[in-house]
Structures are given as structure tokens and as C-alpha cells.
Structure 1
Amino acid sequence: MSLLTKKDEESGLSTYYNNKTTVIQEARVFNDSPISPRKCRALLTRIVYLLYVGETFNTQEATTLFFGTTKLFQHKDSALRQMVYLAIKELATTAEDVIMVTSSIMKDMQPNSEVIYRPNAIRALCRIIDPSMAQGVERFFKAAIVDKNPSISSAALVSAYHLFPAAKDVVKRWVNEAQEAVNAKSSSSFFGSSNSGGYLGWGGSSSNSNSGYQMMPSTSYITQYHALGLLYFIRQQDRMAVTKMIQQLGGGKSGMGTTLKNPMALCMLIRYAAKVMEEDPNMHRPMLELLEGWLRHKSDMVNLEAARAICEMKNVTAAQLSKPIAVLQLFLSSPKSTLKFAATRTLAALAVTHPASVATCNVDLESLISDQNRSVATYAITTLLKTGNEASVDRLMKQITTFMSEISDEFKVIIVDAIRSLCLKFPAKHAAMLSFFSGVLRDEGGYDFKRAVVEAIFDMIKFIGDCKEQALSHLCEFIEDCEFTKLSVRILHLLGAEGPQAPNPTKYIRFIYNRVVLENATVRAAAVSSLAKFGLEKLDTKLSRSINVLLNRCLDDVDDEVRDRAAMYLKVYTEPKLIQPYIKEDSIFSLSALEAKLVSYISDPEALEKPFEVASIPKISRAQAAKEVARPSSLETIGMPSTSKAPTPPPVSAAETQSAYAQQLTEVPEFASYGTVFSSSPKPQQLTESETEYQVSCVKHLFKEHVVFQFNISNTIPDTVLEQVSVVMQPQADSGLTEDFIIPLPSLTAANSPGIVYFSFTRDNPEEFQMASFQCVLKFVSKELDPETGEPEEEGYEDEYQLEETELAAGDYIVPTYVTFASEWDRLRGGASATETFGLSSMESLKAACTSIIEILNMQPLGGTEEPQSSSVHILQLSGLVAGGGGKVLVRCRMTYSKAQGVTLELGVRAEKQEACSLVVAAIGG
């Protein structure tokens, strides 16, 4: 687009095309009598061009242009009719009352109308009609899908594909016609029509419908590609139907007997096969045989797609990779740059996980380093960096340096990432690589490229201690001329963390203070924080007093953030006891949990009368906080409400899970009086097997006086609807819980799965920690869906499904939180404590014992202690907050292992309240 714009500006076309006001004024040409096809085509071209480059028309302008354009239907010029359809198709999304032009479009859809008009009419009608009208035009679409002319058939299939989200039930009835289009044995059409819906060249102003066009036969079989996409769209919720379709169209193990002749259709079938193989382990072997068969297909496109699919499989073995790598190796010597590029890119990605398998192609890859296509050369040398040995590093680094200036930033980032991996693989070669990174930092480049280089140097500092001092010096030089604020802030933060421990920390202070003098407010604030940390290592020294002087100068800064930071650090200098909680503390409040608690606090008038309980908010490490800011919180897929149309990624931390569930519960009116949710289950408990027809999982939500069980229910049967869906729970005797109510699910189909059923209990004594097990039964009314109308039948049958038991356990009352264990353990020395010894004879290893204890208590493991470093002795440290004002609780598990006795556990507990101690001990002892 940038090149196009530049050319337009040079030729003066930009002024001509981009003047929206002129175009609207000239629309009067549509009302001329007689109509001038040449003028109208030129004006319509300008309208489409404006929409293409991002210009927008308001509703009134779009409506005026739309109905002005529709007046041109009376003219028979075929080229003009082509532009009319293009224009109304684009304007229809903004204009009003577009439904009025339906009759004119449907005239051109009739079987007896000109063949050249029908594909465009079908595409335009798809944009014009309301979803409720889809059933009225169903017969036209069905006839068009099976039309012998592939341009008409493809237009109908693509239109059906776009109609599907709004009119699922209607489009699903076209499955037989779509299957017939897939099985088409031959295809002939006007050249280019099946791909773009248009024709080469513009005709004259003659009224002859075929004027200006050259009809050329084509055997592209493009209809199969469009029909396969529609079939998958219709059947995507039915895994068995998709698997059957792939096997029928796959053509057996050889892949040669397939009815699909279009390479793009085969590529799409390969992607569907790879998806089925990933989702269903039972289909791994049959799908792999199909993929290996397509490696021998006569189309290069199909060969590459099959090879890529096998290379991207999870847990792929070296034996399974031999065939696809052999195919890719053949393409490395191809005269076509596209094939070489695709092969090298696939091998570069595979080299990350299977370098030994890719190493067989190293000879061919080395010959591509000097390839004229620098993109191919980039991927070739990137792959060699991942598969080469230590002896080849210096030679490869020299070759990289020669063409770094010839490639785009995108490929520079790829090379930098490869060298970063090489640094960790061969740390002895860090000098050459660090020299390369410092050199490219001085070169021209965008933010993404410079960030990749800085991140690579950060990793070298973290993992290769010998290069730390030199790397910090290079970063200091870089921020002198760095034009990116984000990078400057990150480097200053690193200097503040690593610089004070360096042998000669004073040499970094000049670079940092220069930022206070020369940079913008954001960088100045970061520089103040970094500068202050140099003096906090050793107070009352010459360096500390010098830093104090520099910070006092910052009190006169024009920005309040800079002044506030300087004042805070000066206060810390005078009161050293503030260093640990304000500077060196590694924990921080979870921002998502803090936000959820604050929103709940200010929305409850009664809560505002009491102080905000900050102690009830879980903490996370600063590393987790960085991830939390990078990704928004969300619920796991199976926990989404039934009204949600698409799943979102799972949360990145337990604190995010809590706040996301809290947000979901606030949208349920029945829970409005329950107050703030104290805790939710860290992950859903599966109550059914993964292969069953109905899949149910359970999440427990704990309130001050209530417990709510959330059942996430999925219906995997596509032609069945479940109505009056509920879960009946039977608690054990003396559970301390009283049943409140059930919020059932009115209906549940495979399309809107999962749905949610809520079951609420009242806690008889909120001061106690009730623990109980529950028998659960899924009850529903099952009804078949009418294949014609898509509506459920009037009569169904009641059914029930026995679920696994669920329980309310100690872990449901505890929320994980991050603390500095040593200091917090000492702080709780005078509080409630308990020590018990347990014999865990069923545990086969210390790691299994750690996993079980963490799962039972639902507490935060600290400092990597969940991974035992020894096979016989280990200490596990845990931290958590007890819901309902139970306060903080810490656990220290000293464990020993022997084959004769299993795991012996000494459980030490310290807490702010005795009830929390008793809860933890009872959980392990029970």
C-alpha cells in the first residue's frame, strides 16, 4: 500500500481518487439520461478505491450513493453491471434500507439470466439480505451450488460460508449440495472467474453481455476448495463427522485416490487432519498415514503442507520426521524461490526442537547462505545456527554480519533470536556474539528489532556471568542515543538491579544521571529509581553520600513523578528499616485481584462503613506481575457462560483466576446479596471422563455465608438438545450446609456448549470450615433436532447421568499468595503454630509428595521448592491466605524418602490465627 500511495502521489492520482466530496457531487451522473457507461464505471471505480484505502462514508452519504448506483441496473452494459455489484456490495454495510434492491439482484440470479451476471448477483445478495430472509432464498442458493458453471457454484458456496454465522440452521440444510460440489469430477469456467468473481479486461460500452471478455476454459477445480470449507464449517462441532469426511476425501494411505483435484482444497484437508490428530489421540495413526501419503502428491503445495503438518505435530519422533525432512531437502535445491523459502522456514522452526534431525540438511542449507533471495538466506543461516556445532560459530557469525544491512527488520529479529539461543548453547563463544549484538545496536532499525537485541543481551547477563560487566557497558552506551522510551526504561531497571553488585559500580552512574538531565519524564523517573539503588547497598559510604546529593537535585524536576520518587528514596536513606518493605520486597499485590476487591468494596454501601481489608488480597512475585500486565485475565474455556460465543485463553496466575470468576458471579442476580467471593477453585474438577457424551466439571465459590457450586456442562452430541438441565447434589450427613436453590440451564446444544448450572448452599456456621463430600447426578430432558428446521422435537425423554463425587475440602478455603518465606516465617514466630509428623507410605517419590501436598492445600510453592533437588531429603515451603478473615498461613514441609517407609513428613505450620493452623493440619491428617 505504501508503494501504491507513492506512485499515486507521483502521478497525481491521489488527488483525483481521494477527494470524497467530489465523488459524492459527481454521483449526479447516475441520473443522466441516457446513462453513460464509461462515466459511471469511472465513478464507481473511484468509490470502490476510496473504500479500499480506508475512506468511510456516513450513513446518509452511503445511502445516497447506494440507491444512485442501483439505478444503473436498467443498463445492459456487462462491464458497468460488474462495477455496480462491486459497489453495492461494499456500500451495503453502511447504507440504510438496502433490502429494497433485493428484487433487482434476484432477477440476475435466475437460471435463465446471463451467466456473466449470476456470480456477482449471488455475492451481492449475501451482503444485502437479512438473516431472517435466508430461508426465502434457499432454493436459489441450493441450485447455484450445484450449477455446472464453477464460477456460479463458487460464488454460492462462498456466500453460504459468510451467511453461516447468522443463519446456521438454514445453511446446514445445504450439506448435500456442498458434498455434491466437492465430488465434482470436472470443472470449466471463464479464466479467473472462480478465484475473484471477475473477468480479465474491461469491455467497451456495447450492450452485448459478453463484450470485452475472452472466455477461456479452466480446470482449476476451485469449487472443491470452497465446498470443502463450507462442509467443515457445517460439521466442525461434530468430530466424528469431520474425521469421516477427511477419511473419505483423503484417498487412503497413499493419498492418491482422493476425489479432490484442487491443491488448495487438499492443503485445507491436510490442516483439518492435523487438527483432528491433535485433538483426538486415537486418530493419530490413521491421520499420520494420510499425511505421509500426501508427501508423494504431484503438487508441490500439497507436499509442503503435509511436511509442515508432520513437523508441527506434538511429540513427533525422529523416525516420523525422516520422510518430511527428505521432501523438504529436495525443495532446498529447487530453482523456485518460493519452494526454497517455504522449506527453509519449516526447517528453521523444526530445528528449535529437533536440531539433530534437521542437521542432515546442513550441506544444502550452507549453499543457500549466498542465495540472491535474502529471505531464503536468512532462514538458511538461522537454521544452521540452531543445528551447527561450536566450531562453526565464528564462520557463521562473519557471514551473518555481511548481509544484516540487506534484510528487513522482520528477518533481523529472526536472526537475533537464533543467535540468542546459540549464546546459551555455546557460552564459551559469548565474546563474538556480544560484539555482534553491540554492533547491530548501533545500526538503523525499528523498535521490534532493537528490543530483540536488548532482550538477547539481557539473557546473556542472566545466564552467562562472565559477560555481565561488558554487556552492561554496551547497554549504557546504547541508552545514550536510544530513541525508544520503553527500551531505555527497561535498561535503566536492569542497571539498577545488576549495577550495584558490579566490581566497579561507579562507572554506570554517569550514564544513568545523564538520563535525568537529558531525557523525557518517563525515562527520568526510571533513572531516579535506578540511581537510588546504587546508594542503598552500603549506607554511610562515599558512594551513598554522592547519590544522596544527586537525588536532592532531582527534587527540583518539573515532573511530579520524578520529584516524588526522589523524595521517597531520600526518606529511605534516612530510615534504613524502610529498605526491605519498599525497595527489596519481591512480592506485590495482584493487580487483577486488587481491582476486583476494590470494585466490590465501593459497590457495597455497607462495606464502605468499614476499612478496606488489604490483608485479604493475595500477592504474587514481581515476575508474575509482569506476565499479568502483559496478558488480560480471562476464564478457562470450560468456565465460560453459555452466552459466550468463543473461548478465551486461560488465566496466567491463580490470582487472575479468582478475579475472573468474581467478575462472572457478579453478573448473576441471585448472588447479588452474597457479598464478595472469598475464593474459587484454582481449576475445575472433572466429574466425567473426556470421552463421554456429556462432559461436566465443577468449580467451588466460597462466600462469607454461602458456598456456590458451578457446574460447567458440555453437550458433544450435535443433533441433540438438552432442556431443563440441572445437577442434583446430595451432601453427607452433618455437613453443616443447608440447600438454598438451583439455577438450571434452559437448553444446551453442542453449538452453545458449555453451559453453566449453579447450586447454592448456606453455611450454617460461617465461623467454621465446613468440609463434606457430595453425590452428584446430572438430570435433563433430551430432544432430537429436526434436520430440516433445526428445531427440537416437541416430545423428549427425561434422563439422568451419574457424576463423580465432589467435595468441599480445606484447599477451597485457602488462596495462594506470594511472600518472602524466611522473613515472614520469623515474623509469625509468636503467632499460632503447630507441628505434626505423618507417614506417607503410598508416595513413591518426594516429587509425588510435593505435588499431592500442593494440590490438597492449594497454597503457593515458593522459590522453586516444589521441585526436589534430592531424591531422599527435601523441604517444601508454602504460603496462603485463609478465606473469611483467617489471615496468613505458612507451611514448611520437611520430607525424607526411603523405599521401605515411603515419605516421612514433618509438617510445620505458622499462622496469624489458630483456626488456620488447625485447618492445614486436618487437611493433611485426613
Structure 2
Amino acid sequence: MNTSGNPYKNLEKASVLQEARTFNETPVNARKCIQILTKIIYMINQGEQLGQMEATETFFAMTKLFQSKDMMLRRMIYLSLKEMSTVANYVIIVTSSLTRDMTEKEDSHRGPAMRALCKIIDVNEVQEAVNNDNIMVQYHALGLLYQIRRTDKYAIRKLIVKFSKAGFRSPYAYCFLIRIAANLINEEGEETDSPMYDFIDSCLRHKNEMVIYEAASTIVSLKCVTPKELSSTVNVLQLFLSSRKPVLRYAAVRTLNKVAIQYPASVTASITTLLKTGNEADVDRLMKQISSFLSEISDQFKTVVVDVIKSLCQKFPRKHTVLMTFLSNMLREEGGYEYKKAIVNTIISIVEENPEAKEADCEHTSLATRILHLLGREGPRTTTPAKYIRYIYIRVILENAPVRAAAVSALAKFGAASEDLLPNILVLLQRTTLDQDDEVRDPMNVSLSSLERLLHRYTIEPTTKPFDVRSVPVEAVPVEQPKDISIGVDLPRSGIESKTNREDTYDEQLSAIPEFAHLGPIFKSSLPVDLTESEVGYVVRCIKHIFSHYIVFQFDINNTLNDQLLERVTVQIDGSAEGFEVVHYTPCQVIKCNDTGTTYTLVKLPDDSSAVTGTLACTMKYTVKDCDPTTSVPDDEEGYADEFVLEDIEITVSDHVQKVLKPNWYYKIIIFYFSFHLMFIIECVKKIINYMGMQACERSDKIPEGKASHALYLAAVYRGRHDVLVRAKMALDGTTVYPGAQAITMQLTIRSTDGSAVQVIASAVE
């Protein structure tokens, strides 16, 4: 060989491959193997084509050289492997040796081994690595796949779709895939209805906080996103604001700052969350920040801010001044009804829950009336109620009829609660008597539903008497209708169920019975009274309906027995000794097993107008039919008569009296006087109200502690529509009756348009 020229110029492929068999010798001759590897590399670089079988045999022989620790030989092995990887088969078997070199401490081995491995490895191996359990392996495998395919947009799209469905264990891989999808959206100009955006949006619901924030931050930075799509992102960032991790709170605030610059409305909920999660010292600063962007958002988002301020005032009651000032400024600004309504509701809530916050311009009538109602209820209880009167009276002068009426009612409440203000308020109220609107002139504390019903009856019934407003019940009492009640006549059930007033319901029931149609309107209905024990077979309850000259006793009977059926049920009343005359019985035709029925007894009141109390004996009479407990079919068609003794019915003074509220009771004229000595304790006031059945006025039923004397003012309407007023002056006389009880001297003063009513009321405490 010519030493002055190229020593590899005349190489023959066959001879070189023959020499390559030296690689199989043991021990390895490093110097000789280096020369042979150099020849092989030279031939390949010169364009010599190796057959697949030849290359594979040589490649397998080269793998045995990894036994040698020679540095130069190892480098030549790496170079040769890279050159032959494209020709030989099964080159993947050498990956274990290369991987071992990559993990060695020798720096000269790790770099070349890694480069050789990248050369021989197949793309499918990268995809397998993406499914590895190690989170870092997944992350780097995805990065390598992206680098391989980054020039092919279609391949990138398939990559995102594939792994968005398959998922990763690695949060880093998810974050990288989100960034790939975001780049594709921005480069291709896609909208928010694309699969790429759907994938990013789905990551907002991932269980890993890193992935959630990456998705939220990416959505904020997208060019195609609108405020509507930002709502879910803002909600996620809002949750991060209340996180215990400082890094999450910082990241959320930083991202929300970006949103606030472009979309102030979308970040409203998050800013208000800062109010919820902040401390008391930050309230002033946060309120100033909200004021800066409040004018830029819609009423819908302003309402959200108002709701948060309401909860904030409950959390920090000492900050009510700042919050009320803020709400007052909001109330003066332009806004819709719902927005202003939210502000008013919040102010009312703050005033009701915080006594220190008791301090209204409104263009909405319903809101103005609510505010006036609030002032009338809470204003008299403040330390200086007089300062509210001017504001309320201005409404009487300037506003429309509904607001004026509400203002008049509010002024009346101030006068009723304060003797000092009463003379001045009376002067103001007298000016309203000439108001052009009846709603302002004649405010009455009546039940509207009852008033409509009685007016309707007055118009259809022939009468020469004027309509008496005292026939209207003072208050509507809700009633729960018993289920499956069967009575002696068919009643219009739909009409009964449509009423919420107890008297209205009873009135319709009784009007449907011909024998009771002539009695007129019900003056009063009592509460149900049990006439039997709850454990007996027949449970009976009685309700007394008081009319002008009659009493209708309604008996609701519950048959708790499952083997007996009752027919032709009546309740016989014996009131002859008391002067009460039974006029008519309305039987209940049948009461099935475990069912309830109703029967009525009509009784005429005594001719003596003062004889209104008594005790009536009651006996239930009926026909019993034994029946099968399972089918409830009677065994005998005839049955047998039976009776059941009930407890006596007590008729008291309170049954003939209906409560009514009389303002300014003290200014009524007093005529009759009675003096009594009662042996009661402090419960005396409650007992008097209970026995008489009258309404306490001017809060006289509230007794301050430690008082030795007290004046109780009562008002009512007696049967026959006669007004009754009572004043009871009580004082301790210092006499101890028995331990824990003192004697009370009471002066009872009664006034009424009917003399018999006075005697009846007085008899209640005799």
C-alpha cells in the first residue's frame, strides 16, 4: 500500500466484511477493531452499498465490541452504529447498551450514546414513551413528537386530538399540549367552536391546579375569546383567589388583571370575591377600586356587587358607614328597576340587622313604599325619631298617591309611638284629610280579601243598611284544610281551597248549607277545641262560628277505627239550662274507616243580651256498621244505634269579641268605671287579654321590668258590631297572698255604644 497516498483508496467490500469477523474474537483487539471500523465508515461515506444481510451481520458483530472499555474504540462504535442504522435490520436491540452508557458517570460516554440512540430509535418508540408512567418521560416524549411533526399542521392537529382523548399522567405534558393547541388556534385564526378550544376549555375542570391555571391563562391570552367565553375562566380564577396557596392567589390576581384591562365586566365576580375573602382593613381600599370600574359595567354585574356588599356588611358590621355611603351613591346613579331594587333590599337588610346603621330618593313607587314602611317600623325606635318626620312628610307633598299613602301610614306610626311627637304629627295628618285621593285620605287596617268578599255580598243581598267596615276581620289567619272531609251537604271544594283566610273558608262552607244561608256573615270563628282524647276511637274537634243571634258548632270527627263505619252522625247539645236553644242539626251521612267527616249544630243565643257564657253538654249519636278491616265493606246493612259522650263546650266572653286596633286610644271618651281586686302575679295582663279576647293598643301589653303600676289599653268589636274600649289600671298593693304571689288592685274602665256589651266585658274578670 502506498503510504504517501490514501491508505483506504483500494478497499474491497468483501475483504473488509471478512475482517469484520474479528469483532467476534475474545479478547477484543481494540487497535485492530478501530482500523476495521474506520474502513467500514470510509466505504459507506464513499457510496459503497452494503447489502441488508451484510449490514445486519456486521452490525450484530459490532455490538459485541461494547465489552471493551477502550475509549477510542467506544467512540468508533457510536459512529459506526449511526452510519449503519439506516441499512441494518433489528438495530433496536442495541438500545439497552446505549441506555446503559447514557446512565454512566463517564461524560465521554453519555453524550455520544445519546446522539447514537436518537439516530437509531424509531418514532414508534417515542409514542410508546408518551404512555410511560413516569411524568417526566411523558413530558419529554411529547416534546420530541412535537419537534418531529411541527412542520406538519395536520399532524399537529391529529396529535392534539389523539392525546386530548387519551389523556396523560403528567401535568407537564398537559400544559405543553395546551400551549400547542393555543399556538395552532392563533396561527390558524380558529374560533371558540373549534375542537382545539374545546380541549383547552375542558382542562379548566382538570383535577391538577397547574393544568387548570395553564388553561385559564391560555384562554385569557387567546385572540378569539369573547367576554361570554371568559365567564368560566373567571369563575376558576375566582376560586383560586380563596385558595390557601399564595402562589395560586398571586397567579389568579395577575391573570385577572389582564382580564380587567380588556373586559372589566367579566372580572366583576372575581373582584367581589376579593371583598368576601379580604379582611376588614381592606374594605375601604377595595371599595375605591370597585368605584373606578363600576360605571363601565352593566346593571347585571352591578347587582352582583350589591349582593356582595350585603354579605360584607354582615361580616364586618363596623364598616356599615363606608358601605352605606357607597350604596347611597349607587342609588343616585342611573339604573334599572332590578338594580335599584337590589340596592334597596340591601339597605333594608343592613338597617334591620345593624342597629347602628339606621339612617332614600327613588323613582320607583314600589321601592319608595317599602322604604317608607321601613322608616315607619324602625324610625320610632331610634334615639332621635323626629329627624325622620321631615323626610317622610316631603313624600306626602311631592309623590304620587301610593307613596303618599305609605308616608301617611309611616307618620301615624311615629305619632302612636311617641307622645312628644304626637301633637305635631296630628297637625300634619290633618292636612291629608283633604287629599284628592281616597287611598291617602282613608287608610284602613283591613284585610283586602275579606273586604272584597263582604262588599260583594253586600251588593247582591237586599238591604237598606249602609255597609259597615267593622264587619271586616282585622287580620287574615291562614288555615290548613283537612284532607278528605265529608259533610252532610256537597260543598264547592275548589272555592274553599282557593281561600287563604280562615273566616272566608268557613263562610263559604256554611253558606253552602241552606239552613245557614239566612244567618248573614260570620262575626268570628274560634280556634279548634278538642272534645276527646287523641287516643280514643273517635277524635272530635269543635269550632264555634259566632253570628249576630246564633252560634254554629262545627264538629270535625275522625273515625280512627278500621272495622267500623259511622252513618247519620250528629252531636246533640243540651243548653236549655243556660238559655241556649238548639235550632237545627246537619248530620254527616257517612264517615268511613280512617276518615274524617263534619257535622253542624245550630244554636240560638239567649234573649237576654247579657247571658252570653255557659257550659254545654255534648253527646255524639250515630249508627254503627261493622265492616271488614281490609275492604271496609259493612257486614250488616242495618247497623245499630250508639252514642259517645263528649267533653263539655265552654262559651266565654272572648268568643263574642273580635280584636281591633284603635290608634290614639287615650283620646277616646271614658264613661263606665269598675273597680276589682285580683289575686294574680305579673301574668295579670296576659290573663286579662286572654279572658276578654281584646286587642292591646299602644304597645300597652309590654310591661317594663320593675314597675309597680301599669295601664293596659284594649279595643275590640262586640257581637252586633259594637265598639268596646277598656282601660285597666293595675298596681301592686304590697300584700303577699302566698309565696311568689302578690295582690293586685285593678281599676277597670269600659266604654261601649251598647250597655249590655259593657256588662258582658266586665263579667269576664269578675
Correspondence for 1:661 = 506
1: CA distance between counterparts of 2:207 and 2:452?
Answer: 59
Aligned length: 482
1: CA distance between counterparts of 2:617 and 2:282?
Answer: 65
Correspondence for 1:723 = 567
2: CA distance between counterparts of 1:920 and 1:668?
Answer: 32
Alpha-carbon displacement from aligned partner over 1:747-781 (angstroms, at most 9, x marks no partner): 2347763x321111122406333321022233444
Out of 546, 561, 567, which is 1:702 matched to? Answer: 546
Alpha-carbon displacement from aligned partner over 1:183-229 (angstroms, at most 9, x marks no partner): xxxxxxxxxxxxxxxxxxxxxxxxxxxxxxxxxxxxxxxxxxxxxxx
Partner SS, residue 924 of structure 1: coil
1: CA distance between counterparts of 2:640 and 2:241?
Answer: 65
Displacement of 1:792: 4.7
1: CA distance between counterparts of 2:390 and 2:606?
Answer: 64
Correspondence for 1:866 = 701
The residue identity in structure 1 corresponding to 2:723 is G
Correspondence for 1:453 = 343
The residue identity in structure 1 corresponding to 2:689 is I
Alpha-carbon displacement from aligned partner over 1:237-295 (angstroms, at most 9, x marks no partner): xxxxxxxxxxxxxxxxxxxxxxxxxxxxxxxxxxxxxxxxxxxxxxxxxxxxxxxxxxx
Partner SS, residue 612 of structure 1: coil
The residue identity in structure 2 corresponding to 1:824 is W
The residue identity in structure 1 corresponding to 2:676 is E
Q: Note if contact 2:654-2:691 (Cα within 8 Å) is conserved in structure 1.
A: yes
Correspondence for 2:723 = 887
User: Residues 611 and 421 (structure 1 numbering): CA distance in 2 closer, same or farther, change over 3 Å?
Assistant: same
Out of 445, 467, 471, which is 1:617 matched to? Answer: 471
Correspondence for 1:901 = 741
2: CA distance between counterparts of 1:707 and 1:777?
Answer: 17
> Which structure has the larger Rg?
2
The residue identity in structure 2 corresponding to 1:906 is M
Correspondence for 2:580 = 737
User: Residues 869 and 690 (structure 1 numbering): CA distance in 2 closer, same or farther, change over 3 Å?
Assistant: farther
Out of 391, 400, 416, which is 1:524 matched to? Answer: 400
Alpha-carbon displacement from aligned partner over 1:636-665 (angstroms, at most 9, x marks no partner): 4359964659996996xxxx5444433332
Is 1:855 equivalent to 2:687 in the alignment? no
The residue identity in structure 2 corresponding to 1:853 is I
2: CA distance between counterparts of 1:410 and 1:396?
Answer: 17
Displacement of 1:739: 1.4
The residue identity in structure 2 corresponding to 1:486 is S
Correspondence for 1:918 = 759
Is 1:812 equivalent to 2:655 in the alignment? yes
The residue identity in structure 1 corresponding to 2:649 is T
Correspondence for 1:688 = 532
Partner SS, residue 669 of structure 2: helix
The residue identity in structure 1 corresponding to 2:717 is L
Is 1:602 equivalent to 2:459 in the alignment? yes
Partner SS, residue 578 of structure 2: coil
User: Residues 778 and 532 (structure 1 numbering): CA distance in 2 closer, same or farther, change over 3 Å?
Assistant: closer
Partner SS, residue 647 of structure 2: coil
Displacement of 1:813: 1.1
1: CA distance between counterparts of 2:485 and 2:275?
Answer: 44
Q: Note if contact 2:405-2:443 (Cα within 8 Å) is conserved in structure 1.
A: no
Q: Note if contact 1:710-1:758 (Cα within 8 Å) is conserved in structure 2.
A: yes
2: CA distance between counterparts of 1:870 and 1:571?
Answer: 34
User: Residues 891 and 535 (structure 1 numbering): CA distance in 2 closer, same or farther, change over 3 Å?
Assistant: closer
Correspondence for 1:588 = 445
Alpha-carbon displacement from aligned partner over 1:363-407 (angstroms, at most 9, x marks no partner): 9996499899x9xx99x989989xx99889879989999999898
Alpha-carbon displacement from aligned partner over 1:98-151 (angstroms, at most 9, x marks no partner): xxxxxxxxxxxxxxxxxxxxxxxxxxxxxxxxxxxxxxxxxxxxxxxxxxxxxx
Partner SS, residue 458 of structure 1: helix
Is 1:834 equivalent to 2:674 in the alignment? yes
Alpha-carbon displacement from aligned partner over 1:862-919 (angstroms, at most 9, x marks no partner): 2443343326644432211111244323242525496443452514232123322221
Q: Note if contact 1:634-1:649 (Cα within 8 Å) is conserved in structure 2.
A: no
The residue identity in structure 2 corresponding to 1:858 is G
Correspondence for 2:367 = 487
1: CA distance between counterparts of 2:484 and 2:702?
Answer: 32
The residue identity in structure 2 corresponding to 1:775 is A
2: CA distance between counterparts of 1:432 and 1:780?
Answer: 73
User: Residues 573 and 406 (structure 1 numbering): CA distance in 2 closer, same or farther, change over 3 Å?
Assistant: closer
The residue identity in structure 1 corresponding to 2:573 is M
2: CA distance between counterparts of 1:412 and 1:694?
Answer: 60
Correspondence for 2:213 = none
Q: Note if contact 1:836-1:921 (Cα within 8 Å) is conserved in structure 2.
A: no
Correspondence for 2:599 = 757
User: Residues 460 and 408 (structure 1 numbering): CA distance in 2 closer, same or farther, change over 3 Å?
Assistant: closer
Q: Note if contact 2:696-2:712 (Cα within 8 Å) is conserved in structure 1.
A: yes
User: Residues 604 and 530 (structure 1 numbering): CA distance in 2 closer, same or farther, change over 3 Å?
Assistant: closer
The residue identity in structure 2 corresponding to 1:702 is I
Q: Note if contact 1:640-1:647 (Cα within 8 Å) is conserved in structure 2.
A: no
Displacement of 1:923: 1.1
Correspondence for 1:313 = none
The residue identity in structure 1 corresponding to 2:726 is L
Q: Note if contact 2:471-2:721 (Cα within 8 Å) is conserved in structure 1.
A: no
Displacement of 1:738: 1.3
Identity %: 26
2: CA distance between counterparts of 1:752 and 1:893?
Answer: 50
Displacement of 1:509: 9.1
- Written as runs of structure 1 = structure 2, the 5 A alignment for 1:643-658 is 644=493, 656-658=501-503
Q: Note if contact 2:365-2:402 (Cα within 8 Å) is conserved in structure 1.
A: no
Q: Note if contact 2:618-2:646 (Cα within 8 Å) is conserved in structure 1.
A: yes
Instruction: Tell me how large the CA RMSD over aligned residues is.
Output: 5.7
Displacement of 1:736: 1.0
TM-score where L is the length of structure 2: 0.50
2: CA distance between counterparts of 1:394 and 1:784?
Answer: 79
Correspondence for 1:431 = 321
Alpha-carbon displacement from aligned partner over 1:388-430 (angstroms, at most 9, x marks no partner): 998898799899999998988997787576457568xx3x332
Partner SS, residue 828 of structure 1: coil
Q: Note if contact 1:381-1:396 (Cα within 8 Å) is conserved in structure 2.
A: no
User: Residues 534 and 448 (structure 1 numbering): CA distance in 2 closer, same or farther, change over 3 Å?
Assistant: closer
User: Residues 906 and 588 (structure 1 numbering): CA distance in 2 closer, same or farther, change over 3 Å?
Assistant: same
User: Residues 659 and 415 (structure 1 numbering): CA distance in 2 closer, same or farther, change over 3 Å?
Assistant: farther
Partner SS, residue 884 of structure 1: coil
Which deviates further from its counterpart, 700-709 or 660-669? 660-669
Point out where structure 1 has 5 or more consecutive residues left out of the alignment: 1-333, 338-362, 470-474, 517-522, 539-568
Out of 663, 668, 678, which is 2:523 matched to? Answer: 678
User: Residues 391 and 645 (structure 1 numbering): CA distance in 2 closer, same or farther, change over 3 Å?
Assistant: farther
Point out where structure 2 has 5 or more consecutive residues left out of the alignment: 1-205, 210-238, 257-265, 416-426
Displacement of 1:721: 4.2
Displacement of 1:710: 1.2
User: Residues 777 and 700 (structure 1 numbering): CA distance in 2 closer, same or farther, change over 3 Å?
Assistant: same
TM-score where L is the length of structure 1: 0.42
The residue identity in structure 2 corresponding to 1:709 is F
The residue identity in structure 2 corresponding to 1:611 is P
User: Residues 382 and 712 (structure 1 numbering): CA distance in 2 closer, same or farther, change over 3 Å?
Assistant: farther
2: CA distance between counterparts of 1:602 and 1:774?
Answer: 37
